[in-house]
Amino acid sequence: MGTKKSLVSRREGAEYDEEEVSHVPLKAILLADSFASNFRPITLERPKVLLPLVNVPMIDYTLAWLQSEDVEQVFVFCCAHSDQLISYLETSKWFTQPNFLVKIIKSTTALTVWDALRTINYENVIHEDFVLVSGDTVSNMPLSNVIKEHKDRRKKDSNVLMTMVIKQSKPSPVTHQSRFGTDELLMAIDPCTRQLFYYQENTTHSEEFISPDKAFLTDNHSMCVNNDKQVCYIDICSEEVLRLFDENFDYQHLRPDFVRDLVKGSLLDDIMSYKIFTYEIPSSYAARIDNFRSYDTISKDIIQRWTYPYVPDVQFHRNSATKHERCGIYRASDIDQSRSAEVGPFTVIGNGTKIGNTSKISNSVVGESCSIGSNVSIDGCYIWNNVTIEDGCQLKHAIVCDGVVLKSGSVLEPGVVLSIKVIIGRNVLVPAYSKVSLLQQPTKVDSDEELEYADSSSSITYNPSSSEKLDMVSKDLKTEMMESQLCTASEVGSDGAGFIWSIPEGSLEGEWRHSVAPIPPEKLSEISQRINAELYINQDRSIVPASGELEPDSISDVSDDTDSDKDMNAFFEKEVDLTFRRAVHENTDDDTVIFLLNQIRMPLLLHAEDCASALFYSMMKLALDTPHSSHNELLRNVSSVIKKWKNVLKTFMKTIDQQFEVILKFEEMCSESMKEYSRIFVEILHLLYEKDLILEDAVIRWAIEKEGADESDKVFVKKAEVFIQWLKEASEADDDEDEDDDD
Amino acid sequence: MDFQVVVLAGGFEKNLAPLVSKDIPKALLPVANRPVLSYVLELLEQYNLKDLIVVVEGESAALSVGGWISSAYVDRLHVEVAAVPEDVGTAGALRAIDHHLTASDILVVSGDLVCDVPLGRIGAAHRRHDAVVTAMLCSSPVSGPSDSGASGGKDKAKKPGLHNIIGLDPTNRFLVHIASGAELDKDIRVSMNILRTVGEMEIRADLMDAHMYAFKRSILQEVLRQKETFQSLKSDVLPYLVKSQLRSELPTNGVHTEENGNDKDGSDSSNVMLSQLLANACTQSFHEQYGLGPNGCAPFSRKTHKCCVYIASKSNYCARLNSIQAFSDINRDVIGDANHLSGYDFSAQNNIIHPTAVLGSKTTVGPQCMVGEGSEMGDKCSVKKSVIGRHCRIGSNVKIANSVVMDHVTIGDGCSIQGSIVCNNVQLQERAVLKDCQVGAGYVITSGSEYKGESLAKKY
């Protein structure tokens, strides 16, 4: 092997080291397939590692870094769209670098990391420690230290299996996800040896406690539990990893399955006491593009030069010369920018791009040979190559792939992804978080994430036989679409082309979590409120001390001032409203709603009537929010809402006192926050009476109570006078009848 | 330091029988020939803490402790001895003396603590963070048989016992988790909320709660009043404060105005200013950040309070005399490795023989030994790593090793005492052999008898 020889000669000059005599080249396995579908629909047409990240395909970042860290052999494992990847690599410079051997291992059937590592094991090319990275990793960390640490450990203990690179990254206290959009990760690490004891991804957010295994403490005295670290998906592995993967069918993925099991297993079984260690990088950069949010975050990090030397103005691949200007603006040499166009901070403009008059671009990446019309506004977007954006378009936080055409006046809301060669019609508004592709959405959608990985039948991409067929199919599809403008064209305008993928049920949550767009502030405040509510619910349950019980009035004792009472009521009302809205939206059954409401009520030590009032308020608000044009329609809204939820309401207003409280609340609403109801006050009161929600005694008591009140307070009593009179007569009649019966 | 100090001196602890008897409460057990309580009192005196309340369980114990204190410290310390009923627990004891507490901060110390930890640092940590409680943690003592001469014992790898599981924040300044006692047998349950807030928590099993706490008085009284069932500071009050630190129910923030009710003379505002200055000087702790809520605006202002720790360095000595084993260990250490605590000057042979002690010919007293005032020993005796009290009469050919012999003990010729504790007024007749025994006060061991690993006490 020519590379090896030249390497030896290079080393000859270096210091003579006994261990270096039998020099073992450092090998790396690069997984050029993420085995996930986070980047669909784009990945249906192109492998993820070839997606441009600040105008450079992701795999080039990884390869450039591996090369600079003296890795000599890289085994690129590819599966989906392997042809595209191979042809890209063949034309790239990577095959011709000295001391850098890139070998492609191709599989057509691999669906998981397990398949991939098994295939590599059969190739029989790795017999020593190796670096395992994924092809979508951006890093500039030095590898030598971590490899040395790993080897030193292995010399002492042959059971050392892996050293995971981790990095400090505190998840947001609100969303519990890191800035890379990944979920909170819990690890327990020995502070001295850095051995990993505990590993848990995807913690459910409601979990109150974690219980790391105590047995570790008997040997080690201390361990660090943390949730402010991230794995970088760079691992130094011993060759046993390959063997273990081969033997065990349970491990589909390296993380969390494999790591979690090993960490646990190292305790239970002496024979299999493999150990995993961690290595925290202090300052250098390492991150993996896992979803659209990390795509956004990492792009920004690249533009802000955290990844130096892998930044746009350094040529580490065949990119064209780009100049770095102040404010983080990068401009390629050949740009046709109108004088009145504005390029804002932290923006990259690729070669051959035209920008029309008065267009504004900020915080964005624009690829090569794009044509941007005039009066276009682009903010926080990733625009790839050969994109045409006509006049007057507005783009915010969107990803626009190669060859997309935006006809004039179209608008992309935050979080939109337009896959390759989509055409958006004139004046079309693409709603937030939409994904538009020329390919139709695979029909079978599994919301379960585990299945999503393994599920091959539904994913056209990974279907082995169709991998090549797919390109043809998609071509056919495209041409067809172009020609006939199929029925779906209406989705993106009459002159557009593309399908809007529907968001699978239940993953709506995930959309904003993992989107390129920043999390909308109202979402944040909604979650933080929920967290607060949960805290108050949990408070009582978890804090009951070993030998004492919380006195019920201890809270009110402390917060005796009325301000906090008011705060609490407002908070409570808001919570009830949220819960109710959610129940309406998700059509929750009555018992669940009652349970949820009680969960909010109990910890705040509020009574049933408070809940009834708050709930009634929410119901009326809902009725009011439902579109209506006249009072009659409003009344109809009210009656339908009450009809639907009367059982729930009923549970909180069983006694006369509670009903009385609700009437008072209603009166207050009519005179203050919802004046619309003042006209139909009596009708609604009657409705409540009819539905048995309010008994006549409550109404009569209300009337009596109000008798002595000011004139201004009596407005509604007067309105209801006829009704009250009628009730009184009815009850007297009842009494009479009773007396008759007695006789 | 203007802390008010409460010394919890205990009473007649049953687990220390036969060492503790009706004549000698726990606080007066001798460590290197002086009562264990004197170690705490002298440590306090050293840091100029002279205003003390010594709480003793039981009237008779209070009488004897009070008698000793007034004789020994009459003009040095201002000590008030308070008797509380037995079995009220540490929290109950504080509840009982509630009306005596006046200073803004209270230092609660266990009377059985033998340590040389800088108290000033604890006070500083407490004040600096405006903490509701600051606990002192020390390394778990290495327990295990004292080197009793048996060869097997030495090879055994000694492991510190598990006393507490303690969670600390990354700066090692705040206590975020604590489990002690019965909780140790259960799984560790770390609150996610606290973990999310601190980001990283170090869980340690090699630290022990040394039962020395600085409390904010108003908070302590509030908690004791609210939670009537709380028995113990260590296993109820402290865990409660730690658990509730991010959702405090305590009136922490209004404390300053309420606190200084008794000295409202302008020092009020300067106090507030000082604490603000201090707060600005150090970086925000996780409590403040959490208190602001996400985005800096919570719908409720989240109340927090701080639980600080002071971790004694490994070079400090810190042990509690709360078991018979600990009694032997502490006696061994105070005349051995930690002899600076004893307050005596050791001779060139690394031992202390009182000038009035009389040693017979060919009698050897080895290093790390102590022979008290007026004791007499016959010929050809050998003493190794042991403490011998005052006015003992020891015959000839007696071997004493790794033992504690208290005052007025009579030992006949040819006795051998190993790894044992012999209390006051015990009489050992000729050729008695003790190995790993505890002998209660006034007991008589007949001549020629042999005991091994037994606890002997007079029946009352």
List of chain B residues whose C-beta atoms are within 8 Å of the C-beta of residue A542: 191, 243
The CA distance from B7 to B13, in Å, is 16
Answer yes or no: are the C-beta atoms of B45 and B81 closer than 8 Å. Answer: no
Q: Does the distance separating the beta carbons of A551 and B226 come in below 8 Å? A: yes
Nearest to A189 by CA among B173, B201, B310: B201
Best of B137, B192, B230, B255 to disrupt the A interface by mutation (most A CBs within 10 Å)? B192
- Residue B255, in any domain of the structure: yes
What's the total number of domains in chain B? 2
Q: Which of A191-200, A211-220, A534-543 has the lowest mean pLDDT?
A: A534-543
Judge whether A161 and A262 are in contact, CB under 8 Å. Answer: yes
Structure tokens at B62: 């209070």
Phi/psi-derived region of residue B130, left when phi > 0, alpha when psi is between -120 and 50, beta in every other case? left
How does pLDDT run across A52-110, given as a tens digit for each residue? 998 889 999 999 999 998 899 999 988 888 888 899 888 888 888 888 888 888 888 77
**Looking at this predicted complex, what is its ipTM?**
0.74
In a shared domain, residues B91 and B146: yes
Q: Indicate if B99 and B221 belong to the same structural domain.
A: yes
Query: What is the rounded average pLDDT of the residues A642-663?
Result: 80
In which domain, by residue range, is B436 found?
348-456
> HEC profile for B289-352?
HHHHCHHHCCCCCCCCCCEEEEECCCCCCEEECCCHHHHHHHHHHHCCCCHHHCCCCCCCCCCE
Same domain, B281 and B365: no
3-class secondary-structure state, position B357: coil
Q: Which of B301, B320, B339 is the last residue of a domain?
A: B320
Distances in whole angstroms, Cα of residue B451 to Cα of each of B432, B454, B457: 8, 6, 13
> Is residue B225 in a domain?
yes
Residues in A closer than 8 angstroms to B230, CB to CB, are 545, 547-548
Residue with tokens 């009708």: A683
Which residue's entry shows tokens 């600990």?
B326
Across A254-258, A439-443, A565-569, A631-635, which has the greatest mean pLDDT?
A: A631-635
Residue B338 in domain: no
CB-nearest partner of B239 from A227, A545, A554? A545
Of B165, B236, B244, the CB nearest to A548: B236
Q: Which segments of B117-255 are extended strands (E)?
A: 133-139, 164-168, 175-180, 190-191, 200-204, 207-216
The CA distance from A252 to the nearest CA of chain B, in Å, is: 28
Structure tokens of A589?
A: 């059954």
Q: Are B353 and B397 within one domain?
A: yes
Highest mean pLDDT range out of A41-45, A104-108, A247-251, B376-380?
B376-380
Judgement on whether residues B315 and B354 belong to the same structural domain of the protein: no
Q: Spell out the residues 6+ positions from residue B218 whose beta carbon is closer than 8 angstroms to its own.
A: B104, B251, B255, B258, B259
B95 in A contact zone (CB under 8 Å) = no
CA A322 to chain centre: 33
Q: Is A223 at the interface with chain B, CB within 8 A? A: yes
Looking at the domain assignment, is residue B183 inside a domain? Answer: yes
Find out whether the peptide bond into B18 is cis, omega within 30 degrees of 0.
Answer: yes
**Residues A114/A242, Cβ–Cβ less than 8 Å:** no
The CATH number of the domain holding residue B352 is: 2.160.10.10
Answer whether B17 touches A (CB < 8 Å): no
Q: Are residues B305 and B359 in the same domain?
A: no
Q: What global pTM score does this model have?
A: 0.69
Which of B302, B320, B338 lies at the terminal end of a domain, its last residue? B320
Per-residue pLDDT band for A192 (boundaries 50, 70, 90) equals confident
Rounded-to-integer distance, Cα B250 and Cα B241, Å: 10
Question: Which chain A residues in 488-527 lie under 8 Å from chain B, judged by CB atoms?
Answer: 524-525
Specify whether B221 is located in the same domain as B73: yes
> Which chain B positions have a beta carbon within 8 Å of A176's beta carbon?
196
Separation of alpha carbons A680 and A688, rounded Å: 12
Among B270, B301, B320, which residue terminates a domain? B320
What CA–CA distances, in Å, run from A21 to A9, A18, A24, A150, B408? 12, 6, 9, 20, 77
Nearest to A496 by CA among A383, A394, A396, A407: A407
Q: How far apart are CA A399 and CA A411, in angstroms?
A: 13
- For the segment A602-616, the average pLDDT, to the nearest whole number, is 76
Task: Please give the Cα distance from A354 to A272 (Å, whole number).
Answer: 61
pLDDT above 70 as % of chain A = 78
Residue B77 maps to a domain: yes
Beta carbons of B236 and A225 less than 8 Å apart: no
Q: Which residues pair with A497 in a beta bridge?
A: A423
A189 contact residues in B (CB cutoff 8 A): none
Judging contacts by C-beta atoms under 8 Å, the chain A residues touching residue B244 are 543
Contact A545 B226 (CB under 8 A): no
pLDDT of residue B156: 36
**How much is the pLDDT for B405?**
93
pLDDT value of residue A366 = 93
> Digits of tens for pLDDT over chain B (460 positions)?
578 899 998 888 888 888 888 888 899 999 988 899 999 998 998 888 888 899 998 888 898 999 898 888 878 888 889 998 888 888 888 888 888 888 889 999 999 899 888 888 888 888 888 888 999 988 876 654 433 333 333 333 444 567 788 888 888 888 888 887 777 777 778 888 788 888 888 888 888 888 899 998 888 888 888 888 888 888 888 888 888 887 766 654 443 333 333 333 444 444 455 555 544 444 556 776 666 655 544 444 567 788 888 988 888 888 888 888 889 989 988 888 888 887 777 887 888 888 899 998 889 998 889 999 999 999 999 999 999 999 999 999 999 999 999 999 999 999 999 999 999 999 999 999 999 999 998 899 999 899 998 888 876 6
Instruction: Test B243 with A223 for CB contact under 8 angstroms.
Output: no
Which pLDDT score is estimated for A98? 83
Taking a contact as any Cβ pair under 8 Å apart, which residues of chain A between 553 and 582 contact chain B?
554-555, 557-558, 564, 567-568, 571, 574
Instruction: Give the pLDDT of residue A119.
Output: 84
Q: Are residues B299 and B352 in the same domain?
A: no
Give the dihedral of Cα atoms B341, B342, B343, B345; nearest 10 deg. Answer: -110
Q: What is the mean pLDDT of residues A375-400?
A: 92
Evaluate the CA torsion angle A75, A79, A80, A83 in order and state its sign. Answer: positive
In one-letter notation, the amino acid at residue B202 is: E
For the ranges A50-59, A408-417, A570-579, B198-207, the lowest mean pLDDT is seen at: A570-579
Is B58 inside any structural domain? yes
Give Cβ neighbours of residue A116 (< 8 Å, ≥ 6 apart).
Answer: A31, A33, A35, A77, A79, A107, A110
Distance between B179 CA and the closest CA of chain A, angstroms = 11
Structure tokens at A79: 């599966």
Same-domain pairing of B81 and B226: yes
Closest residue of chain A to B202, computed from CA coordinates: A224
Q: Looking at the domain assignment, is residue B334 inside a domain? A: no
Residues B313 and B384 in one domain: no
Cβ atoms A667, A716 nearer than 8 A: yes
Q: Does pLDDT of A595 surpass 80?
A: no
Alpha helices per DSSP H over A602-655: 608-625, 631-652
B180 and B236 co-located in one domain:
yes
Average pLDDT of chain A, as a whole number: 77
- B162 contacts in chain A (CB < 8 Å): 217-218
* Neighbouring C-beta atoms of residue A595, cutoff 10 Å: 11
Does residue B332 fall inside a structural domain? no
Which chain B residues contact residue A537 at CB under 8 A? none
Query: Are residue B310 and residue B420 in the same domain, yes or no?
Result: no
CATH number of the domain that B128 lies in? 3.90.550.10
- CA A681 to chain B, closest CA, distance in angstroms equals 33
Lookup: tokens for A310: 């892998």
